[in-house]
Amino acid sequence: MDVPEQISPGFSVVLGIETSCDETAAAVVVRLPDGSGRIASNVVRTQWERHRPYGGVVPEIAARAHVECLDILIGEAMREADIDYSDLDAVAATAGPGLIGGLIVGLVTGKAIALASGKSFLAVHHLEAHALTVGLTEGLRPPYLLLLVSGGHTQLLIVRGVGDYERLGTTIDDALGEAFDKTAKLLGLGFPGGPAVEQAARAGNPARFELPRPMLGRPEPHFSFAGLKTAVRRTAERLAPLQPQDVADIAASFQEAVVQSVADRCARAMDLALERLGPGAPRHFVVAGGVAANERLRESLRSLADAHGFAFHVPPAHLCSDNAAMIAWAGAERLALGLIDPLAAPARPRWPLDLDAQPAIGAGLKA
């Protein structure tokens, strides 16, 4: 990587560390004075093999697995970027939300490197990192409407600027990725569930089972997937023992129900975003988070955006799922605004992106 010998104002090199869930990751990202970004290295090691026997992420196993390999991955990321710690401007680590054990591993490591090398430290919000990834991949600047769909979160937000988010909708029960994971488990498709359900659905008939389209037509763009999950379970129980074609058809019918429900909620959010931002505001719709890797969902949301006059943006799949390039980039964006954090910055397992957002339960919906 070419790092200019003279660090110019606004030019920054940031090491990012991600340990909030079941991926251990380290990356080096460069932010140029024009606000664009370059990935100098991006190393991710998933822990799926460790969690697979349990059918889900086991927090204690996750934390131990991060400890075992984080220093190795950081070494790899630094070598691949061909830089030394003295070339860094800052170290960014995920501070939350996520599993407390893993967050502590990443934070302590990031703080130690920052302290030892005399660099700034940045405590990064994991969801902010997903939200800002399109700045790194496409140079897109706020404001934009964002659908954030991951294993733990399902939200519609207006991204007004770095650190400035207005939540329009959230899930009142399961997250979308969680719904995919639980459906996969029920159908015996393994872990992680999202890619497995998508794969099975390719051979299935999405019209064979009539599953509910949760929240369709509701004025507030909230989500709910618990009822759909129950309907999937009842369908599977009715047909048991399941033949491979039954599994494919249930997976396809589930995915179709999800896609239609999510598209309806996003359409509502587009109307709200136009009201909030005013008719002259740029119309950009961004999808981010692990579930944004789902091709059927991408395709449907792309058509929806077209129909509503929004430009559609989604990061490449490997930058939708958890990675440290997004953490380094969010850190670089904050650093550019002078928003550095003290070494006392705590891990924050629960940390809303929009601190003013009201609980969705109060919106006249079931808890």
Chain contacts with ligand KG4 (rule: CB under 6 A): 21, 150-152, 177, 180-181, 192-195, 198, 289-291, 293-294, 321-322
Q: What tokens does 151 get? A: 């294993």
- Report the partner that residue 235 touches, choosing among ligand KG4, Zn ion, none (CB closer than 5 to 8 A by kind): none
Distances (CA, A) of 95 to 16, 18, 65, 180, 348: 12, 9, 18, 26, 6
For 268, phi and psi rounded to 5 degrees? -65, -45
Least Å distance between CB 301 and ligand KG4?
13
**How many residues appear in the chain?**
367
Determine the Cα angle at 324 with ends 322 and 326, to 5°.
80
Taking residue 341's Cβ as centre, other Cβ atoms within 10 Å add up to 19
Nearer residue to ligand KG4 within complex by CB, 204 or 289:
289
- φ/ψ region of 358 (left if φ > 0, alpha if ψ in -120 to 50, else beta) reads beta
- Report the partner that residue 194 touches, choosing among Zn ion, ligand KG4, none (CB closer than 5 to 8 A by kind): ligand KG4
- Report the partner that residue 195 touches, choosing among ligand KG4, Zn ion, none (CB closer than 5 to 8 A by kind): ligand KG4
Q: What tokens does 339 get? A: 């928003």
Nearer residue to Zn ion within complex by CB, 128 or 256:
128
Least Å distance between CB 330 and Zn ion?
12
- Report the partner that residue 341 touches, choosing among ligand KG4, Zn ion, none (CB closer than 5 to 8 A by kind): none
Q: Whose CA is closest to 203, among 253, 252, 236?
A: 252
Nearer residue to ligand KG4 within complex by CB, 23 or 341:
23
Least Å distance between CB 165 and ligand KG4?
16
Query: Using CB under 5 A as the criterion, which residues of the chain lie in contact with Zn ion when the complex forms?
Result: 150, 322
The span from the CA of 186 to the CA of 264, in Å, is: 26
Query: How big is the chain by its Cα radius of gyration, in Å?
Result: 21
Nearer residue to ligand KG4 within complex by CB, 120 or 154:
154
Least Å distance between CB 116 and ligand KG4?
29
- Report the partner that residue 37 touches, choosing among ligand KG4, Zn ion, none (CB closer than 5 to 8 A by kind): none
Least Å distance between CB 83 and ligand KG4?
27
Least Å distance between CB 323 and ligand KG4?
8
- φ/ψ region of 215 (left if φ > 0, alpha if ψ in -120 to 50, else beta) reads left
Which residues does residue 96 pair with via DSSP β-bridges, in sequence order? 125
Residue nearest to Zn ion (CB): 150
Nearer residue to ligand KG4 within complex by CB, 119 or 191:
191
Q: Please say whether the beta carbons of 64 and 35 come within 8 A.
A: no
Least Å distance between CB 18 and ligand KG4?
9
Least Å distance between CB 216 and ligand KG4?
20
- Report the partner that residue 330 touches, choosing among Zn ion, ligand KG4, none (CB closer than 5 to 8 A by kind): none
The span from the CA of 168 to the CA of 357, in Å, is: 8
- Report the partner that residue 102 touches, choosing among ligand KG4, Zn ion, none (CB closer than 5 to 8 A by kind): none
Nearer residue to Zn ion within complex by CB, 249 or 322:
322
Nearer residue to ligand KG4 within complex by CB, 70 or 292:
292
Which residues does residue 157 pair with via DSSP β-bridges, in sequence order? 146, 167
The span from the CA of 68 to the CA of 73, in Å, is: 10
Q: What tokens does 195 get? A: 């890619």
Nearer residue to ligand KG4 within complex by CB, 12 or 294:
294
